[in-house]
Amino acid sequence: MDNISKILKKKTVKKPQNKNIHSELHYWTDIISSHFGEKKKFGMYLGVIKRIGIERAKQIFAEIKDSNVDNPGKLFVWKSKIRPITTGQQESTKLKKNY
């Protein structure tokens, strides 16, 4: 019969954390690349998430993670290229002159 300390140790054993995660950006990059099964493409996902921002990456990831697609990584990159148009962007494009 195990004593209480052995039982508690078995229950509280944590998965070792990745020591290379330094920021929220790295955290979400690790989550997304792991979920898509492309850990070797960590750098590519890091660049994409830096470009589009963490909030937009979380939004795209939420849309894709439950979908049943063949290659969710490609869909993530494709959706990251599409930028939502805000009213400020529409007005600024009208004011630009082509010389």
**Tens digits of residue pLDDT in 18-43:** 777 788 999 999 999 999 989 899 99
Integer Cα distance of 11 and 22 in angstroms: 27
pLDDT for 59 equals 92
Residue that is written with structure tokens 């330094």 in the block: 22
Question: Does the structure show a pLDDT above 60 at 99?
Answer: no
Integer Cα distance of 93 and 75 in angstroms: 28
Question: Is the Cβ–Cβ distance between 39 and 31 less than 8 Å?
Answer: no
Residue that is written with structure tokens 């960590």 in the block: 42
pLDDT for 21 equals 78
- Percentage, residues of the chain above pLDDT 70: 73
